[in-house]
Amino acid sequence: MYFGGISYGFYLWHYPLLIFYYNYFGTDTIPIQWGLLILVITFVLSVASVRLVESPIRTINLREAKGKVAAVLVALVVPVLAVYFSWDIYASQAKDNLNDDYNQQDYPGALAMEEGVEAPEGVEPILNPPGSESNLPEFYSDKDCYTDLEEEGVSHCSYGQTENPDYTVALVGGSHTGHWFPALNRLSDELNMQIDVYNKDGCRFTTDDFGGAMNESCMEWNEKVIEPLLEDPPDMVFGTATVNNMPKVPEGYIEQWEKLEGVTEVFAIRDNPRMGERIPECLETKSEEECSIEREGSLPKTPPWEITEGIPDNVTFADLSEYFCDEDTCHSVVGNVIVYRDVHHISNLYSYTLAEPLKKPLREALENLDE
């Protein structure tokens, strides 16, 4: 009975706390200890709001206390408006402004994995270039451009060359697709490419829920996102080809690609390895070597699509694993750039430096469309 009395407050408070966590830590998953802490904070806020706001309002005599009612309304509305406008200002300022202003000679990032490119020693590794305040790709700063974890429907926005592009590429999937946005956006001018973002938090472009790992909202989104891709097909759909260290391409991915066969091409990029802990925090107390992991068991040496049957003809695969791992090690820092913004999402700056390695396979795939 007691919980029933605070259930509405519980409902109101839990979601803002979740969104704050996702944005602050730049992730779409919550460890159990943080989840429990959010539940405790939600409970405390629910009890406080019921005792300090809801219960007093219920006992007010409107005829005798018009002034008190007005004061309560002002007390409620002003904080809400303040939070709303503060968040709007923050979102505007947090837009990614990755550009060539940072010192690429000191911070070559992914290019340092190529022969002949060396990163200077003694340079402190960085997560973001100077002036960039957000750890998330640009489209996350506009709520209308992606779909939240529990949100229904399909949202999308266009970036890059939106006027008279030679190619339109749809970036479709969840955060492991979304973290390639800085690389694609950097290439948009050179390739005269429009980028249509169809992003859903905590989701993959799949027909399979991976044993419950994908929630009901994700599976509904997967059914709906196919419609705009078929009705107004892009030249190419860009997404992930694999999941973590799974040895084969997921069947659910293949089934989604088959729906696009004969309509549009698919550019599927191999998923990056997962690290042992949050890399930025790890590097505060440990060395780069200690924060890196062994390649064996983290990234199979054989690309999964080479041993997967039933791949449709409209799929082109790309493998940039060599920019994350050498023969033995998957690195936490490459070219003085921190590779991950957390445990398994590529940092904005590292993604940005992956543009050049990505350009060759992507350009070839796009040029094949013209043949």
pLDDT value of residue 93:
46
pLDDT value of residue 117:
87
Domains of the chain by start residue, with CATH: 2-93 (no CATH), 109-369 (3.40.50)
pLDDT value of residue 341:
95
pLDDT one-digit tens code per residue, 204-253: 999 999 999 999 999 999 999 999 999 999 999 999 999 999 999 999 99
pLDDT value of residue 240:
98
pLDDT value of residue 21:
67
CA distance 271 to 320: 9
Residue 135 has pLDDT above 90, yes or no: no
Pick 370 or 196 by higher pLDDT.
196
Arithmetic mean of pLDDT over the chain: 85
pLDDT one-digit tens code per residue, 260-314: 999 999 999 999 999 999 999 999 999 999 999 999 999 988 999 999 999 999 9
Residue 203 has pLDDT above 70, yes or no: yes
Query: Per mean pLDDT, which range of 12-16, 55-59, 130-134 is the poorest?
Result: 55-59
pLDDT value of residue 81:
57
pLDDT one-digit tens code per residue, 36-75: 887 788 777 777 776 766 666 566 655 555 565 556 555 5
CB 301 within 8 A of CB 353: no
